[in-house]
């Protein structure tokens, strides 16, 4: 090859014809320029061949498609002979479908690669013989239109060129090829126009069949995919109404603009889940638009009944247009019972809160190594048996890191007053007698009460839960039963139009098996009934009394706890792992809601002795939780920490925690601090103390709490 280049360079002229008026020096400069050009040619040709070699590798010969078999590539060439330039001409025949890459096969030389992005013809000349021209499927978008019109290609084209892709999700497509017609049927979940749904956010599954090249004309018209401008004819919008006397569905029928002549269109109602004569009055007729009139209203009267039920739907359809085409022919009318419409989400949150509180408290009872009888009204502990002065030391030494009400206000979210129950919330008691290792075993009676909060806005509420249980423990087995009462109220909109209130009584058999000194497993069931009150607030004729529906509750829960490190092995540091899970279902006459939770936690604590009867305890908790079911789903992280200083006359506790229970945005951090000061007193007697505390939810307002507690030491112990 280099020999051929050298011969070619020698053929370059060494001189040029003389020009009048030029000197001999000019000819010398020309000979020098020709000399430089020869060497530049020797360097440029190898670089050109090297670049062509890289381009060649991108279109393998085994994958090339002849121009005769590639409908999107037009190619022709002319080999004129050895000493003449050969010419070629190529063109992209499918520019609307994508890019075509052509490869010109040259004899005794590297092939040429041409990227055809539009429909313009590309021509070229070469001194080498042209063997063939092929299409490169591994470089270009297509060689045939069927390469682009696939399910993936249709979806990609929809997302790239259609404005509807901005308000639609979950797009899928089915290609259809018939002769020269290349079409796509696109299906997606599209967001409706809130102006036509009464302000509700709704999504509709819709489909449209359109030419592949016309995908840019597809629009989201109120939740429907259309390959034409929205509002290009008569349209009817959806309507929403309450199930109440005096309420009606108001369907708006519109024209896109003033018309010079009279426009008429017929309309008629049809059943969906709502039945004519039962839920609404059947209506039909004809609308007449005068010249320059663009809007009419069809009124459908709602029939009221007293039954709480799900939303019901019917349809209004336009037909037989005269003077203008129909663009949007069918609209949906939704009749809903307002409290029940939102009660499924509220009931789901209530069931989750109850089940979570039950699992936390039953699990705390079944995993705690606590046999000290006590009474703790309002979170302040009264010991009923003699215990070591440093109760925190025994608490940590046993590896029990579960937060108990006797830890004071820092153990929970604080008291929220509901109907005078503030004193009982966060209270607990335990009476235990006997020894589980003896032949008679140990009998225990216990109880707890606490506040609970769930959800936000009209899907949330404030409530309480109280449990009383009795169990028997002998050897490695513990079994018992507990009864609980819980309640909540909420679900009210900001204007107080409606509200929900629920009470629930349930029974919970439970059992625990200690597989070893470090590992135990437990299970619990729950069955209960209650009442759900639905309060409309007012109706079209005045105040409406609350409506009641019976609710049922079922729950199943399992859990385990294992000690990884004991204080004896690590000089005061305890580490354990805890896991629990529950399934719950709550039902009423109108709705049914299910929920579940799976949680895995790692807990650690370390106690530091600071002197006689003085101790500092640091505990931390971190884990994962996953929730599923109605109303909420996701995986989140739960973290927290607590610091407590205990002395005979002073008890200070600080706690911070975060619970991202939905796996979406980070959950709020909550911090609380409590200080309890008790003057030194005799061994026996009654002491009065005041315990103020503050809880701060970051991003919100601080909520102060002031507790008044009575704490006493009674002569019931062996000392």
Which pLDDT score is estimated for 250? 92
Instruction: List C-alpha distances in Å: 719 to 194, 238, 684, 712, 714.
Output: 74, 79, 11, 16, 11
DSSP-derived 3-state class of residue 220: strand
**If you write DSSP's letter for every residue of 376-388 in order, what string do you get?**
EGGG--EESS---
Closest CA to 212 of 94, 115, 99, 102: 94
Q: Which residues contact 593 (CB under 8 A, 6 or more apart)?
A: 344, 345, 347, 348, 351, 585, 586, 587, 629, 630, 631
- State the CB neighbour count (10 A cutoff) for residue 62: 4
Of 50-54, 205-209, 531-535, minimum mean pLDDT range: 50-54
Statement: residue 1 has pLDDT above 70:
no
Q: Rounded to whole angstroms, how far apart are CA atoms 19 and 22?
A: 6
Which pLDDT score is estimated for 412? 34
**If you write DSSP's letter for every residue of 286-321 in order, what string do you get?**
EEEEPTT--EEEEEEEBPP-S-----EEEEEEEEEE
HSE of 584, CA atoms in CB hemisphere, 13 A: 32
Q: Rounded to whole angstroms, how far apart are CA atoms 329 and 331?
A: 7
pLDDT band at 285 (very low <50, low <70, confident <90, very high): very high
pLDDT band at 102 (very low <50, low <70, confident <90, very high): very high
Residue 485 structure tokens: 């009462």
> Which tens digits make up the pLDDT trace of 44-78?
544 444 444 444 447 888 889 999 999 999 999 99
Q: Rounded to whole angstroms, how far apart are CA atoms 491 and 500?
A: 5
DSSP-derived 3-state class of residue 407: helix
> Which tens digits make up the pLDDT trace of 591-636?
677 888 888 888 888 877 777 778 888 888 888 888 877 656 678 7
pLDDT band at 570 (very low <50, low <70, confident <90, very high): low
Which pLDDT score is estimated for 120? 93
Residue 401 structure tokens: 């890191």
Which pLDDT score is estimated for 618? 85
Which pLDDT score is estimated for 288? 94
Q: Rounded to whole angstroms, how far apart are CA atoms 551 and 588?
A: 4
Q: Which of 271-285, 351-365, 439-453, 665-679 holds the top average pLDDT?
A: 271-285
Q: Rounded to whole angstroms, how far apart are CA atoms 252 and 254?
A: 6
Handedness of CA 673, 679, 683, 689 (dihedral sign): negative
Residue the block writes with tokens 């995919």: 225
pLDDT band at 306 (very low <50, low <70, confident <90, very high): low
End-to-end CA distance of the chain: 111
Q: Does pTM surpass 0.85?
A: no
Q: Percentage of the chain with pLDDT > 90?
A: 28
The residue-averaged pLDDT of 566-594 equals 79
Q: Which of 98-112, 368-382, 411-425, 429-443 holds the top average pLDDT?
A: 98-112
Beta bridge partners, 525, equal 556
Statement: residue 548 has pLDDT above 60:
yes
DSSP-derived pairing of the beta strands 312-322 and 263-271: antiparallel
User: 325 exposed, middle or buried (CB, 10 Å; 0-12, 13-18, 19+)?
Assistant: exposed
DSSP-derived 3-state class of residue 337: coil
Closest CA to 162 of 109, 226, 243, 93: 226
CB 676 within 8 A of CB 650: yes
The residue-averaged pLDDT of 560-581 equals 81
Q: Rounded to whole angstroms, how far apart are CA atoms 161 and 484?
A: 59
Beta strands in 589-700 (DSSP E): 592-611, 614-629, 634-647, 650-659, 669-677, 685-697
> Mean pLDDT of all residues in the chain?
75
Q: Which residues contact 88 (CB under 8 A, 6 or more apart)?
A: 75, 76, 77, 78, 104, 123, 124, 125, 126, 130, 133
Residue 30 structure tokens: 């020309």
DSSP-derived 3-state class of residue 367: helix
Rg of the chain in Å (alpha carbons): 41
Q: Rounded to whole angstroms, how far apart are CA atoms 377 and 427?
A: 5
Q: Which string of b and e fits 235-244 if b means at least 16 CB within 10 Å?
A: bbbbbbbbbb
> Which tens digits make up the pLDDT trace of 108-118?
888 999 999 99
Q: Rounded to whole angstroms, how far apart are CA atoms 646 and 443?
A: 30
Statement: residue 185 has pLDDT above 80:
yes
DSSP state of 111: P
Of 149-153, 416-420, 464-468, 546-550, minimum mean pLDDT range: 416-420
The residue-averaged pLDDT of 475-504 equals 77
**If you write DSSP's letter for every residue of 150-202 in order, what string do you get?**
SHHHHHHHHHHH-GGGGSEEEEEEEEEEETTEEEEEEEEEEE--GGGTTT---
pLDDT band at 637 (very low <50, low <70, confident <90, very high): confident
Which pLDDT score is estimated for 502? 87
DSSP state of 223: T
Which pLDDT score is estimated for 179? 82
Of 143-147, 188-192, 614-618, minimum mean pLDDT range: 614-618
The residue-averaged pLDDT of 336-357 equals 72
CB 658 within 8 A of CB 652: no
Q: Which string of b and e fits 149-170 if b means at least 16 CB within 10 Å?
A: beeebbbebbbeebebbebbee
pLDDT band at 207 (very low <50, low <70, confident <90, very high): very high
Give the CA dihedral 45, 46, 52, 58, nearest 10 degrees.
180
């Amino acid at each position: 090859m280099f020999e051929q280049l050298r011969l070619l360079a020698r053929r370059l002229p060494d001189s040029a014809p003389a020009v009048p008026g030029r000197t001999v020096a000019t000819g010398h400069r020309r000979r020098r320029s020709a000399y430089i050009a020869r060497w530049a040619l020797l360097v440029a040709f190898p670089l050109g061949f090297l670049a062509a070699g890289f381009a060649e590798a991108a279109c393998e010969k085994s994958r090339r498609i002849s121009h005769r078999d590639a409908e999107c590539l037009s190619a022709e060439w002319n080999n004129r002979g050895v000493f003449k330039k050969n010419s070629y001409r190529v063109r992209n025949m499918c520019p609307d479908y994508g890019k075509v890459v052509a490869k010109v096969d040259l004899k005794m030389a590297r092939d040429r690669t041409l990227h055809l992005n539009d429909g313009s013809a590309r021509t070229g000349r070469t001194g080498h013989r042209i063997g063939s021209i092929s299409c490169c499927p591994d470089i270009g978008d297509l060689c045939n239109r069927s390469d682009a019109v696939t399910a993936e290609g249709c979806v990609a084209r929809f997302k790239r060129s259609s404005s509807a892709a901005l308000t639609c999700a979950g797009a899928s497509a089915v290609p259809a090829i018939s002769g020269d017609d290349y079409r796509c049927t696109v299906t997606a979940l599209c967001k409706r126009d809130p102006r036509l749904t009464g302000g509700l956010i709704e999504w509709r599954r819709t489909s449209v069949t359109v030419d592949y090249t016309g995908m840019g004309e597809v629009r989201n018209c109120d939740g429907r995919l259309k390959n034409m401008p929205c509002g290009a004819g008569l349209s009817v919008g959806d309507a929403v109404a309450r199930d109440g006397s005096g309420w009606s569905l108001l369907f708006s029928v519109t024209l896109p603009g003033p018309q010079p002549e009279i426009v008429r269109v017929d309309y008629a109602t049809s059943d969906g889940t709502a039945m004519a004569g039962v839920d609404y009055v059947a209506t039909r007729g004809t609308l007449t638009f005068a010249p320059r009139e663009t809007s009419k209203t069809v009124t459908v009267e709602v029939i009221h009944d007293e039954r709480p039920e799900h939303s019901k739907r019917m349809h209004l359809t336009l037909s037989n247009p005269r003077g203008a085409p129909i663009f949007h022919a069918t609209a949906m009318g939704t009749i809903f019972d307002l409290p029940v419409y939102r009660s499924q989400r509220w009931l789901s949150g209530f069931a989750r809160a109850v089940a979570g509180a039950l699992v936390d408290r039953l699990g705390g009872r079944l995993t705690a190594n606590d046999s000290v009888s006590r009474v703790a009204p309002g979170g302040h502990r009264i010991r009923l048996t003699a215990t070591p002065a440093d109760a925190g030391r025994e608490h940590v030494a046993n590896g029990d890191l579960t937060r108990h009400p006797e830890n004071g206000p820092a153990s929970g979210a604080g008291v929220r007053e509901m109907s005078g129950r503030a004193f009982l919330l966060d209270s607990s008691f335990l009476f235990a007698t006997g020894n589980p290792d003896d032949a008679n075993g140990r009998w225990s009676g216990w109880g707890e009460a606490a506040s609970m909060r769930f959800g936000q806005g009209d899907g949330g509420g404030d409530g309480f839960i109280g449990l009383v249980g009795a169990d028997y423990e002998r050897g490695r087995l513990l079994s018992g039963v507990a009864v609980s009462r819980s309640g909540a109220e909420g679900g009210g909109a900001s204007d107080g139009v409606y509200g929900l209130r629920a009470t629930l009584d349930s029974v919970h058999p439970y059992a625990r098996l200690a597989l070893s000194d470090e590992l135990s497993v437990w299970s619990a069931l729950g069955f209960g009934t209650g009442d759900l009150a639905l309060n409309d607030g007012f109706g079209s004729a005045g105040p409406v009394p609350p409506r009641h529906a019976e609710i049922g509750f079922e729950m199943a829960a399992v859990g385990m706890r294992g000690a990884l490190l004991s204080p004896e092995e690590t000089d005061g540091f305890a580490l354990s792992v805890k896991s629990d899970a529950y399934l719950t279902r709550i039902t009423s006459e109108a709705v049914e809601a299910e929920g579940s939770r799976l949680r895995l936690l790692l807990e650690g604590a370390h106690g530091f002795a600071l002197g006689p009867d003085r101790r500092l305890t640091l505990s931390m908790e971190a884990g994962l939780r996953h929730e599923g079911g109605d109303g909420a789903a996701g995986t989140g992280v739960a973290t927290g920490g607590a610091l407590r200083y205990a002395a005979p006359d002073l008890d200070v506790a600080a706690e911070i925690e975060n619970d991202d229970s939905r796996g979406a945005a980070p959950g709020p951090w909550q911090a609380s601090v409590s200080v309890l000061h008790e003057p030194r007193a005799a061994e026996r007697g009654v002491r009065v103390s005041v315990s103020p505390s503050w809880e701060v939810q970051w991003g919100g307002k601080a909520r102060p709490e002031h507790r008044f507690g009575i704490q006493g030491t009674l002569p019931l112990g062996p000392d």
